[in-house]
Amino acid sequence: MSERLIYLPLGGAGEIGMNCYVYGYGEPDKERLIVVDLGVTFPDMDTTPGVDLIMADMAWLEKRRKRIEGVFITHAHEDHVGAVGHLYERLGVPIYARAFTANIARRKLDEYGIGADAVITAPIWPEKIELGPFSVAFVPVSHSIPESAGLAIDTPAGRVVHTGDFKIDETPVVGDPFDAELWADVARGGVKALVCDSTNVFSRHPGRSENTLGPDIEALMAEKTGMVVATTFASNIARLKTLATAAERAGRSVCLLGRAMRRMTEAAVETGLLSDFPKTIAPEDVGSMPRENVMLLVTGSQGERRAASAQLANGKYLGIELKEGDTFLFSSKTIPGNERGVIRIMNQLSEKGVEVVDDHDGLYHVSGHANRPDLEAMHAMMMPSALIPMHGEHRHLSEHVKLGEARGIPSVLAVNGTMVELTGNRPRVVDYVETGRSYLDGSVQIGALDGVVRDRIRMALNGHVVVTLIIDEDGAPLGEPWCEIMGLPETGESKTPLVDVLEGDLNQFLMRATKRTLSDDTALEKELRNITRRSAQSEIGKKPEVTVVVSRLA
């Protein structure tokens, strides 16, 4: 049977976040595999209450564990590297990444007691990593974190270019400028398929460079007379530098607050990326300085409840308290879904008299992703035989497919689980694989469809009643049944305590119940559950979740 080249997204295609892509080469069902990115996505109360992190389901890969050659991480954003610690043992293959990304990955593995040698620091194009039928090069690209890379994946069937997240930025302040010559070099000899970031396909204006922000940020820092607090993603080292440099020029000392802020700057210093970052001061030194001489650089730009931003908005943090006359700058964009958290912080700051400045007018933030014209530029540079949009919701992938087709490039919409064969003249969907999500919940990994989270949501919506009944040695109820309620009002329609109403109705049923009913656990539990739900519905207008515990005295 002839060999083939396949592409299979397990996460990140049909959503933004949780990136995980598989490439395979070999005879069908015997392909050797490489994995690109092991990212996470974040839970929310609506769909995943109590969950800590969400990752792509590894079932398909684990079954083919012996065929996996390695994992490549394109960059150190959580939605690309966040799951390495949680999933390393399940895949058991080496992880390749550039130095900064490797530094972050090793910190994550360390939390699981996995040694630093699990991650191999990769060289960059034109050097290649040879793994089975694959020859893979990290191609430096600009993005909103240092040392992002696309991958040039060479196979006997030709070259696939996997862009990773990218923008076209020739002056990115920190990290690699976009190098058009280098990418032209990658394109030389032909690109079988371009697998391309889709995040900003709906943004019609050309992307702006990171270095356009400096002057406006500097003007703001200089103009304000109180303390200035700035928040952005800690991983955006270039932004940290822009903010810190602006602060320094405005006569402000910089204080970093938040765990991620320290972790990221440490990693950047360790890997030589931040040699000329302004000196920082410790939180305990802030109090003794005039407010106009301080800038805090803090985590929590997305309104995260435990981050430094939220704590400063809410009260004191490490002895620092904001007050009237201070300014809080969101050098960030609110990710859809995070609006409530961000607005909560803005209002808390407003209550303190702190002026809030956001990116409403486009002065203080630029995106890390290629806008539509930049995607078109990438298409033109690569001139691929096929385009597969990735990293986007369905609507982004769909729009990106239209963009490719408009240029005459055969383009495929492949959401998670869609296996695409790239070997023929045109890309072709050859299989649909069952994919899903797994949740890190406390210390346990559970499946999204296990029902655990569904039960939590039901309890949150409907409350929970526990009915306990003891059946004596003769098969008769011992005393009356009793109810415990949680998450339900104490009284309803009748003003009698709800538990009394429920217990009364249950007892009425039991007094009339036959021996036969009482002897059948399943039937009895079902009946008690139904009575409880009906009784609650008429008393409080709500059908709760019900757990029935029948204990039989032996």
- If the CB atoms of residues 47 and 171 are measured against a second copy, the closer one turns out to be 47
* CA terminus-to-terminus distance, the chain: 65
- If the CB atoms of residues 424 and 489 are measured against a second copy, the closer one turns out to be 489
Q: Are 456 and 462 in contact (CB under 8 A)?
A: no
Position 115: which residue type? G
To which residue do tokens 């009364």 refer? 504
Cβ of residue 306: shortest distance to a second copy, in angstroms?
14
Contacts 24+ apart (CB under 8 A), 502-509: 502/465, 502/467, 502/532, 502/535, 502/536, 502/539, 505/531, 505/532, 505/534, 505/535, 506/467, 506/469, 506/480, 506/481, 506/531, 506/532, 506/535, 507/480, 507/481
Cβ of residue 437: shortest distance to a second copy, in angstroms?
15
**287: exposed, middle or buried (Cβ count in 10 Å: 0-12, 13-18, 19+):** exposed
**515: exposed, middle or buried (Cβ count in 10 Å: 0-12, 13-18, 19+):** exposed
Beta strands across the sheet bearing 32-36: 119-121, 95-97, 68-72, 32-36, 20-26, 4-11, 418-421, 428-432
Three-state SS at 547: strand
Q: Where on the chain is the footprint of a second copy (CB under 8 A)?
A: 14, 44-46, 49-50, 202, 336-337, 339-340, 343, 346-347, 349-351, 356, 360, 393-395, 398, 441-444, 446, 450, 452-453, 455-457, 459-464, 466, 468, 470, 478-479, 482, 484, 486-493, 537, 540-542, 545, 547, 549, 551, 553-554
Cα–Cα dist 232/298, whole Å: 7
Cβ of residue 361: shortest distance to a second copy, in angstroms?
9
- If the CB atoms of residues 459 and 513 are measured against a second copy, the closer one turns out to be 459
- If the CB atoms of residues 160 and 220 are measured against a second copy, the closer one turns out to be 220
Cβ of residue 234: shortest distance to a second copy, in angstroms?
24
Q: Which residues contact 72 (CB under 8 A, 6 or more apart)?
A: 34, 35, 36, 37, 95, 96, 97, 122, 136, 138, 151
Cβ of residue 438: shortest distance to a second copy, in angstroms?
11
Signed CA dihedral, 446, 451, 456, 461: sign only: positive
- If the CB atoms of residues 207 and 544 are measured against a second copy, the closer one turns out to be 544
- If the CB atoms of residues 174 and 498 are measured against a second copy, the closer one turns out to be 498
- If the CB atoms of residues 49 and 504 are measured against a second copy, the closer one turns out to be 49
Q: Which residues contact 379 (CB under 8 A, 6 or more apart)?
A: 194, 196, 387, 403, 404, 407, 409
Cβ of residue 216: shortest distance to a second copy, in angstroms?
17
Cβ of residue 60: shortest distance to a second copy, in angstroms?
22
Cβ of residue 544: shortest distance to a second copy, in angstroms?
10
Cβ of residue 101: shortest distance to a second copy, in angstroms?
27
- If the CB atoms of residues 287 and 487 are measured against a second copy, the closer one turns out to be 487
- If the CB atoms of residues 408 and 479 are measured against a second copy, the closer one turns out to be 479
